[in-house]
């Protein structure tokens, strides 16, 4: 039995985004990627793996100083002392041209060339490794096309940092097709670049392990590496293993059942308990999306700061120092009231927004304005705040509902009940 760990996209010393602006944000926000790498190394030692593969973006760009490299070197020394070799390729964030500082690595670490594909034969294990790193950040050519044929009589593993045919939210670097990888004749493709774990195919195995530590709310859920076992020349198991030290959670709360603010907070508490069960022992960073048609909508919109503070208090009650609220998004709407005459303000608004949602000319006009705006501001803004990406029809409808709720609230002529217990 031969075992190895496949990891990628460690982004060492990349800070967690979204917590640093809040009072009481954890120190973990600055050290999480280091602690996750320590857990990965500990897993390799506990499992007594035969080797470790690191498939690109070990670093998040050039080091600010040598401390980043020294930390990585210390972790590799732990593996060296246990006789575990490490094989790595560079990706777009740690391409040869991106890292100006240089530091020698322990003898157990072997980096594949960034000039052409290389093959490393592990004779005693019956394994042949093939890989090529990035010379510069933007690699647009198909690297896989030049990878060598499989070595007969060995388990062949390819290391490749690639977007394949393209993955949403990721630059289309080192593009290639799944068929190309299949036809290469390898037994396992160890991929990197895509931050969400994905088993692309099982015959042969084509695997993205995802990041080892989520760094913002778009990287929510379990994060870690892949533990692979080989037996008699074939892959016999491929298992995800968690190594993240803080878990990001997107919590959608349907507010329709809540008859009061306290009822809404009960829903929040229940969701927090569920998330804690999914991530035992880990701090949680939570984003709450309040959705649904609810009579509470006017109350929530009149005092969004208070609602957010109450939710933060409820999370603190459940988790203490193990929980932080990254953001509360208010996406509720009022239940549709009985039809009102169109010449009245409320009736006009109702008809107006009903028409807007199905107006192709409006959609086209909004798209044109959005493209002009997008050309003037950093593109990362629309990646981080997906609700602003008006190329997404769902985001457009969400903003329309938000506008309608705010307009109806402003038009309200009488005091709404407080819905307090």
Going residue by residue through the chain (421 aa), what tens digit of pLDDT does each one get?
A: 999 999 999 999 998 887 766 666 667 888 999 999 999 999 999 999 999 999 999 999 988 889 999 999 999 999 999 999 999 999 999 998 888 888 999 999 999 999 999 999 999 999 999 999 999 989 999 999 999 999 999 999 999 999 999 777 788 899 999 999 999 999 999 999 999 999 999 999 999 999 999 999 999 999 999 999 999 999 999 999 999 999 999 999 999 999 999 999 999 999 999 999 999 889 999 999 999 999 898 889 888 999 999 999 999 999 988 899 999 999 898 886 555 555 546 556 666 666 666 667 776 776 677 777 767 766 555 665 666 666 666 666 667 666 766 666 665 534 444 544 4
> Cα(9)–Cα(162) distance, rounded to whole angstroms?
12
What SS3 state is found at 146? helix
> Cα(349)–Cα(357) distance, rounded to whole angstroms?
13
pLDDT at 421: 42
CB 166 within 8 A of CB 31: no
Please count the helices (runs of H) and the strands (runs of E) in the chain.
10, 15
pLDDT at 142: 97
> Cα(208)–Cα(223) distance, rounded to whole angstroms?
12
Cα angle 415, 419, 421; round to 5: 140
> Cα(339)–Cα(319) distance, rounded to whole angstroms?
45
**Pairing of β 155-161 and β 198-202:** unpaired
Residues 6+ apart with CB under 8 A from 131: 55, 87, 89, 112, 117, 118, 120, 158, 159, 160
Closest CA to 43 of 90, 89, 79: 79
pLDDT at 168: 75
Task: Report the DSSP beta bridge partners of residue 229.
Answer: 3, 237
> Cα(359)–Cα(361) distance, rounded to whole angstroms?
6
H or E stretch including 411? helix 393-411
pLDDT at 315: 96
> Cα(225)–Cα(241) distance, rounded to whole angstroms?
5
Residue 212, CA distances (Å) to 76, 87, 197, 407, 421 in order: 16, 17, 10, 44, 44
Burial class (CB in 10 A: 0-12, 13-18, 19+), 49: buried
pLDDT at 117: 97
CB 362 within 8 A of CB 322: no
204 upstream amide cis, omega within 30 of 0: yes
> Cα(191)–Cα(159) distance, rounded to whole angstroms?
6
Backbone CA torsion sign across 332, 337, 342, 343? negative
Place of tokens 């670097």: 173
pLDDT at 338: 52
> Cα(213)–Cα(244) distance, rounded to whole angstroms?
5
pLDDT at 99: 81
Beta-carbon-side half-sphere exposure of residue 147 (alpha carbons within 13 Å): 30
Q: What is the pTM of this model?
A: 0.83
Cα 85 to chain centroid distance, Å, stands at: 28
pLDDT at 321: 83
pLDDT at 420: 47
Task: Report the DSSP beta bridge partners of residue 198.
Answer: 208
Cα angle 386, 390, 393; round to 5: 95
């Amino acid at each position: 039995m031969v075992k190895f760990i496949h990891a990628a996209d460690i982004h060492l010393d990349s800070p967690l985004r979204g917590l640093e602006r809040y009072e009481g944000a954890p120190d973990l926000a600055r050290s999480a990627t280091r602690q996750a790498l320590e857990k990965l190394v500990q897993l390799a030692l506990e499992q007594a793996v035969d080797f470790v593969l690191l498939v690109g973006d070990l670093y998040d760009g050039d080091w600010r100083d040598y401390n980043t490299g020294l930390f990585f070197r210390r972790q590799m020394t732990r593996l060296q002392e246990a006789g575990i070799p490490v094989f790595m390729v560079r990706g777009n964030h740690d391409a040869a041209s991106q890292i100006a500082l240089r530091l020698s690595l322990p003898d157990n670490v072997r980096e594949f060339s960034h000039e052409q594909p290389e093959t490393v034969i592990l004779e005693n294990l019956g394994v042949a490794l093939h890989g090529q790193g990035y010379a510069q950040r933007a690699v647009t050519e198909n690297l896989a096309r030049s990878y060598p044929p499989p070595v007969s009589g060995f388990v062949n593993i390819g290391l490749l940092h690639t977007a394949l045919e393209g993955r949403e939210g990721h630059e289309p670097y080192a593009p290639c097709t799944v068929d190309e990888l299949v036809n290469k004749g390898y037994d396992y493709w160890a991929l990197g670049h895509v931050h969400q774990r994905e088993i692309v195919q099982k015959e042969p195995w084509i695997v993205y392990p995802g990041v080892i530590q989520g760094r913002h709310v778009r990287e929510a859920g379990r994060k870690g590496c892949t533990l692979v076992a080989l037996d008699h020349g074939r892959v016999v198991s491929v298992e995800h293993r968690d190594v993240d030290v803080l878990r990001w959670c997107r919590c959608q709360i349907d507010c329709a059942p809540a008859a009061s603010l306290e009822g809404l907070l009960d829903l929040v508490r229940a969701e927090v308990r569920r998330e804690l069960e999914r991530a035992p022992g880990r701090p949680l960073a939570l984003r709450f999306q309040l959705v649904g048609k609810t009579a509470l909508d006017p109350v929530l919109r009149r005092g969004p700061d208070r609602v957010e503070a109450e939710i933060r208090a409820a999370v603190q009650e459940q988790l203490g120092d193990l929980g932080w609220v990254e953001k509360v998004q208010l996406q509720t709407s009022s239940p549709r009231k009985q039809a009102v005459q169109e010449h009245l303000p409320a009736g006009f608004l109702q008809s107006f927004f009903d028409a807007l949602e199905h107006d192709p000319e409006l959609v086209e006009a909004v798209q044109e304005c959005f493209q002009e705006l997008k050309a003037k501001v950093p593109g990362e803004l629309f990646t981080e705040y997906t609700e602003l990406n008006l190329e997404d029809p769902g985001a457009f409808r969400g903003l329309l509902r938000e506008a309608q709720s705010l307009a109806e609230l402003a038009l309200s002529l009488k005091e709404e009940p407080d819905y307090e217990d």
